Chain A
């Protein structure tokens, strides 16, 4: 079992880089916030005040065994979603090498082809 530790600065930079990496994969049309702000209590308060902070599109957590990376994406229906998703995971892994990352990709939407 690993015990995640937060390193906001490094993880934030990496998350921003990974967003660009993922968007560059052919067939990816959107990267959504991996941890929707509106699902948290703080997010609900901010929403009610009309002051929603910009969430990071990709979540990066540093762990003892390497970064855990999570992204939610939309894929174009003109492409094979399974193939695009595997390409995204491979692109993320290449970007963080030589670190041994754990990658989670969630396809939240497939646009009409």
Chain B
């Protein structure tokens, strides 16, 4: 899994964290355990590594599917999405209290639910609008790849539905629109049990 200039705000790189997943070794494991950005990155890299391994098993890269470019694009977006970003307010019960969610936490959550939709994997995700202003209209802009053979429109709708549900439950954002764009089609990994059946 190659990457360049993929450092998080805390200074750790996606390469370092990827190696940590592979080997269990990193210079400062105490930091990783106490850093929400690193932990979110480990989640995302873990899912990405699984997908990448499945695709490589099928020699998709050699077949020229462009999955390497897709993976690099995801890594580039991950670095941006894993930053804490803007503060998203929650309504406090006590006047004067300040309760917020970080934009990075919400983007990581969206990525996790989108990746869990059968037939889809997340490319990038953005929250458009003034998320720091309570009640402001927010548009979610999600780009996904869909596996070949899956009904694209249905998968995109499932992604939209899952994003809407998780944001309704986990935020107080005023979601005006959720735009899901299918930007790539990847060959579907074969289930492990169907050996020899291409």
A110 touches B27 (CB 8 A): no
Q: Which residue of A lies closest to B39 (CB)?
A: A109
Q: Would you give the shortest CB distance from B31 to chain A, in whole angstroms?
A: 7
Q: Contact mask B34-59 → A, CB, 8 Å, 1/0?
A: 11110110010000000000000000
Q: Could you tell me the distance between the alpha carbons of A82 and B106 in the complex, rounded to whole angstroms?
A: 12
Q: A81-B170, A104-B98, A110-B109 are in contact. Are A89 and B35 (CB under 8 A)?
A: no
A32 touches B98 (CB 8 A): no
CB neighbors of B among A53-84 (8 A): 55, 72, 74, 77, 80-82
With a CB–CB cut-off of 8 A, which chain B residues contact A50? 27-28
Interface flag for A102 (CB, 8 Å)? yes
With a CB–CB cut-off of 8 A, which chain A residues contact B183? none
- For this complex, into which size category does the number of interface residues on chain B fall? 35 or more
Q: Which residue of B lies closest to A112 (CB)?
A: B112
A108 touches B102 (CB 8 A): yes
Chain A's interface: helix, strand, loop or mixed, by majority?
A: mixed
Q: A74-B36, A90-B93 are in contact. Are A80 and B11 (CB under 8 A)?
A: no
Q: A50-B27, A86-B90, A89-B92 are in contact. Are A110 and B105 (CB under 8 A)?
A: yes
With a CB–CB cut-off of 8 A, which chain B residues contact A102? 96-98
B31 touches A77 (CB 8 A): no
A80 touches B94 (CB 8 A): no
Interface flag for B15 (CB, 8 Å)? no
With a CB–CB cut-off of 8 A, which chain B residues contact A89? 92-94, 97, 99
Interface flag for B142 (CB, 8 Å)? no
B31 touches A108 (CB 8 A): no
A86 touches B92 (CB 8 A): yes
